[in-house]
Chains A and B, each alone.
Chain A
Amino acid sequence: MIGERRVPAEIGTVIVGGGIVGMCLAWFLAEEGHDVAVVDDGRHAGTIANAGGLHVQLQSRFMRLYPEMVPEFERTLPFYPRAVRHWQALASRLDEDIGLAVTGGLMVAESREQYEFLEKKCRREQQLGLEVEMLDRAALDRIAPYFADSIVGAELCATEGKVNPLLANQAIRRKALAAGVAHCTETRVTGLAQTSGGFAVETTRGPMRTGRIVIAAGAGAAELAAHLGLKVPARAEPLHMNITEATEPLIHHMVQHADRQITMKQLAAGMVVIGGGWPATLAGAAEHPTVELDSLIGSLSLAQHVIPRIGSLRLIRTWAGVNTSVDGRPVVGPVSGISGLFFAIPGDAGYTLGPLTARLVAHSILGRTPEMAIGEHTADRFNS
Chain B
Amino acid sequence: MLTLVRIVDGAARAIRLIHHRLGTSAGRPMSIQHPQTCSHIEHSYKSGDPVTLDVEGQPVTARIGDTLAAALMSAGIAGLRETAGGERRGVFCGMGVCNECLVSVDGRQSQRACMIKVSGPHTVRRQAFQVLLPAQASGAAPILASDLAVRTPDLLVIGGGAGGLAAATVAAGAGLDVVLVDERAMPGGQFFKQPGAAHRFADAIAIDRQVAEGRARIERARRAGVEILSGADAWGAFAPMTVGVTTGAQSLLFRPSRLVVATGAYERGVPVPGWTLPGVMTTGAAQTLLKTDGVLPGRRVLVSGNGPLNLQVALELARAGADVAAVAELAPRPGIARAGALLGLTASALDVAWQGADMLLELYRRRIPVLYGQGLTRIEQADGSLVASLGERRFEIDAVLMGYGFLPSNELLRALGCRHDFDAARGHLVTWRTDDCETSVSGIHAVGDCCGLGGARAAADEGVIAGWAVARALGRPVDHKNLSAARARLVRHRRFQTALWQLFAAPRLHAERAEPDTIVCRCEEVTLGAVEAALSDGLPSIGEVKRRTRLGMGRCQGRYCAPVLAALLAERQGRPIDALAFFAPRVPARPVSISDLVRTGAPR
Task: Please report A residues at the B interface, Cβ cutoff 8 Å.
Answer: 1-3, 5, 42, 48, 148-149, 166, 169-170, 183, 185-186, 244-250, 260, 269-270, 283-284, 288, 291-294, 296-298, 300-319
**Interchain CB contact under 8 A, A42 and B548:** no
Stretch of B20-28, B269-277, B356-364, B537-545 that contacts chain A? B537-545
**Interchain CB contact under 8 A, A269 and B84:** yes
**Interchain CB contact under 8 A, B139 and A185:** no
**Interchain CB contact under 8 A, B544 and A312:** no
The one of A169, A247, A288 in contact with B133, judged by C-beta atoms closer than 8 angstroms, is: A247
Most chain A beta-carbon contacts within 10 A, residue among B130, B142, B146, B253: B142
Q: Give Cα A298 to B591, complex, Å.
A: 18
Q: Give Cα A149 to B139, complex, Å.
A: 9
B468-515: which residues lie under 8 A (CB-CB) from chain A?
none
Q: Does B432 touch A at the CB level, under 8 Å?
A: no
Chain A residues, CB < 8 A from B148: 297
Question: Closest 4 A-B residue pairs measured CB to CB?
Answer: A308-B139, A314-B591, A311-B595, A297-B145
The one of A185, A303, A311, A318 in contact with B541, judged by C-beta atoms closer than 8 angstroms, is: A185
Smallest distance from the beta carbon of A52 to chain B beta carbons, Å? 13
Smallest distance from the beta carbon of B434 to chain A beta carbons, Å? 21
**Interchain CB contact under 8 A, B575 and A296:** no
Given contacts A1-B573, A48-B547, A291-B587, contact A270 B129 (CB under 8 A): yes
Chain B residues, CB < 8 A from A316: 554-555, 588, 591
**Interchain CB contact under 8 A, B238 and A293:** yes
Most chain B beta-carbon contacts within 10 A, residue among A1, A249, A288, A315: A315
Given contacts A246-B84, A317-B586, contact A309 B137 (CB under 8 A): yes
Most chain B beta-carbon contacts within 10 A, residue among A149, A296, A307, A318: A296
Chain A residues, CB < 8 A from B597: 296-297, 300, 315
With CB as the reference atom, state the residue of chain B lying closest to A291: B587
**Interchain CB contact under 8 A, B109 and A312:** yes
The one of B242, B539, B555 in contact with A185, judged by C-beta atoms closer than 8 angstroms, is: B539
Q: Does B341 touch A at the CB level, under 8 Å?
A: no
Smallest distance from the beta carbon of B536 to chain A beta carbons, Å? 13
Q: Give Cα A48 to B555, complex, Å.
A: 20
Chain B residues, CB < 8 A from A248: 130-133
**Interchain CB contact under 8 A, B144 and A294:** yes
With CB as the reference atom, state the residue of chain A lying closest to B136: A309
Q: How many A-B residue pairs have CB under 8 A?
A: 158
Q: Give Cα A284 to B584, complex, Å.
A: 13
**Interchain CB contact under 8 A, A245 and B142:** no
Chain A residues, CB < 8 A from B138: 148-149, 308
**Interchain CB contact under 8 A, A166 and B134:** no
The one of A291, A306, A318 in contact with B139, judged by C-beta atoms closer than 8 angstroms, is: A306
**A-facing mask of B316-358, CB < 8 A → 1, else 0?**
0000000000000000000000000000000000000000000
Chain B residues, CB < 8 A from A313: 131, 133, 593-594
Chain A residues, CB < 8 A from B553: 317
Q: Give Cα A284 to B414, complex, Å.
A: 13
The one of A1, A247, A249, A318 in contact with B588, judged by C-beta atoms closer than 8 angstroms, is: A318
Q: Does B141 touch A at the CB level, under 8 Å?
A: yes
Q: Does B151 touch A at the CB level, under 8 Å?
A: no
Q: Is the interface of A mostly helix, strand, loop or mixed?
A: mixed
Q: Does B46 touch A at the CB level, under 8 Å?
A: no
Smallest distance from the beta carbon of A122 to chain B beta carbons, Å? 25
The one of A3, A185, A301 in contact with B598, judged by C-beta atoms closer than 8 angstroms, is: A301
What are 19 A-B pairs with beta-carbon distances under 8 A? Answer: A42-B544, A185-B544, A245-B555, A247-B133, A248-B133, A270-B130, A283-B239, A292-B238, A293-B145, A296-B597, A297-B597, A297-B598, A301-B142, A301-B598, A305-B140, A311-B139, A311-B598, A312-B594, A319-B586
**Interchain CB contact under 8 A, B137 and A308:** yes
The one of A148, A269, A284 in contact with B417, judged by C-beta atoms closer than 8 angstroms, is: A284
**Interchain CB contact under 8 A, B595 and A293:** no
The one of B136, B236, B544, B594 in contact with A304, judged by C-beta atoms closer than 8 angstroms, is: B594
Smallest distance from the beta carbon of A306 to chain B beta carbons, Å? 7
Q: Give Cα A250 to B592, complex, Å.
A: 20
Q: Give Cα A260 to B541, complex, Å.
A: 37
Q: Give Cα A148 to B136, complex, Å.
A: 10
Chain B residues, CB < 8 A from A269: 84
Q: Does B110 touch A at the CB level, under 8 Å?
A: yes
**Interchain CB contact under 8 A, A246 and B130:** yes
Q: Give Cα A5 to B543, complex, Å.
A: 19
**Interchain CB contact under 8 A, A42 and B134:** no
**Interchain CB contact under 8 A, A245 and B573:** no
**Interchain CB contact under 8 A, A185 and B134:** no
B525-564: which residues lie under 8 A (CB-CB) from chain A?
538-541, 543-544, 547-548, 550, 553-555, 557
Smallest distance from the beta carbon of B436 to chain A beta carbons, Å? 24
B118-165: which residues lie under 8 A (CB-CB) from chain A?
129-134, 136-146, 148
Q: Does B574 touch A at the CB level, under 8 Å?
A: yes
Q: Does B367 touch A at the CB level, under 8 Å?
A: no
With CB as the reference atom, state the residue of chain B lying closest to A184: B538
Q: Give Cα A338 to B144, complex, Å.
A: 49
Q: Give Cα A284 to B109, complex, Å.
A: 38
Q: Does B244 touch A at the CB level, under 8 Å?
A: yes
**Interchain CB contact under 8 A, A186 and B130:** no
**Interchain CB contact under 8 A, A318 and B130:** no
Given contacts A245-B555, A296-B587, A311-B594, contact A301 B547 (CB under 8 A): no
Chain A residues, CB < 8 A from B574: 1-3
**Interchain CB contact under 8 A, B547 and A314:** no
Most chain A beta-carbon contacts within 10 A, residue among B251, B540, B595: B595
Q: Does B426 touch A at the CB level, under 8 Å?
A: no
Smallest distance from the beta carbon of A288 to chain B beta carbons, Å? 7
Q: A48-B547, A250-B133 are in contact. List 15 more A-B contacts (CB 8 A).
A: A42-B543, A185-B540, A248-B133, A284-B417, A291-B586, A293-B236, A294-B145, A297-B144, A304-B140, A305-B142, A308-B139, A313-B131, A314-B555, A315-B588, A317-B588
**Interchain CB contact under 8 A, B84 and A169:** no
Given contacts A2-B539, A270-B130, A288-B584, contact A312 B573 (CB under 8 A): no
**Interchain CB contact under 8 A, B592 and A315:** yes
The one of A42, A244, A260, A291 in contact with B142, judged by C-beta atoms closer than 8 angstroms, is: A260
Given contacts A284-B417, A301-B144, contact A246 B129 (CB under 8 A): yes
**Interchain CB contact under 8 A, B586 and A244:** no
**Interchain CB contact under 8 A, B131 and A246:** yes
Q: Does B223 touch A at the CB level, under 8 Å?
A: no
Q: Give Cα A278 to B174, complex, Å.
A: 43
Q: Give Cα A307 to B595, complex, Å.
A: 12
Q: Does B108 touch A at the CB level, under 8 Å?
A: yes
Chain A residues, CB < 8 A from B541: 42, 185-186
Most chain B beta-carbon contacts within 10 A, residue among A2, A288, A312: A312
Chain A residues, CB < 8 A from B110: 245, 314
**A-facing mask of B179-217, CB < 8 A → 1, else 0?**
000000000000000000000000000000000000000
Smallest distance from the beta carbon of B550 to chain A beta carbons, Å? 7
**A-facing mask of B250-269, CB < 8 A → 1, else 0?**
01010000000000000000
Chain B residues, CB < 8 A from A304: 139-140, 594-595, 598
With CB as the reference atom, state the residue of chain B lying closest to A318: B587
Given contacts A48-B547, A293-B244, contact A309 B134 (CB under 8 A): yes
Chain B residues, CB < 8 A from A294: 144-146
Q: Give Cα A260 to B547, complex, Å.
A: 30
Smallest distance from the beta carbon of A256 to chain B beta carbons, Å? 15
With CB as the reference atom, state the residue of chain B lying closest to A294: B145
Q: Give Cα A333 to B555, complex, Å.
A: 44
Q: Give Cα A316 to B411, complex, Å.
A: 14
Given contacts A311-B137, A315-B588, contact A183 B242 (CB under 8 A): no
Chain A residues, CB < 8 A from B539: 1-2, 5, 185-186
Chain B residues, CB < 8 A from A308: 137-139
**Interchain CB contact under 8 A, A245 and B145:** no
With CB as the reference atom, state the residue of chain A lying closest to B110: A314
With CB as the reference atom, state the residue of chain A lying closest to B84: A269
Most chain B beta-carbon contacts within 10 A, residue among A250, A292, A314: A314
Smallest distance from the beta carbon of B399 to chain A beta carbons, Å? 28
